[in-house]
Structure 1
C-alpha cells in the first residue's frame, strides 16, 4: 500500500511558490505471524544453548588431557 502526500508553498502575498508530491511506500508488514511455543520458551532455549556450548568445549579440552601428543612435556620437565 502506498500513501501519497501532496502540498504547496504559498507566499505571504498569496502566490503559489512551489508544489511537492511525495509517495510513501509501506516497507514493513503491519501483521505478524504468530510465533510457535518452542520459540517463546526461553528456558528450553537457554538450556539447549548451554548444553551445546558445554558439549562443544568439554570434548576437545578433555581430549587434550586424555591423549596428549607423544612429544609433549609435562610440568617440571624441561629447562627454563
Structure 2
C-alpha cells in the first residue's frame, strides 16, 4: 500500500513557482528547491520528476494564473512547453 503524501502537492507547486520566479531556473538548485519546499529530495522527485519537469509544471500554473481561459485556448497544455 502506497504511503499517503504528508504535503499538499498544489501548495508545493505554488511555492516552487515563487522560487523560480525569484531566482530563475538556472540559479535555482535542487537543494534550493528541497530547502524552500520543505519536502525531501526523494518526495520531490517522486511527485514532480526532475527539476525541469517541476519547472514546466510551475510554468503551466503561471500561465493558468495569468492567462486564465484565454491562455488555455491559445496554448493548450499538450503543446505549450512539451515539445
Q: Which has the larger radius of gyration?
A: 1
**More relative contact order in 1 or in 2 (CA 8 Å, sep 6+)?**
2
Same fold (TM over 0.5): no
Larger relative strand fraction = 1
TM-score range relative to shorter protein: under 0.3
Alignment TM-score, normalising by the size of structure 1: 0.24
Larger relative helix fraction = 2
Alignment TM-score, normalising by the size of structure 2: 0.24
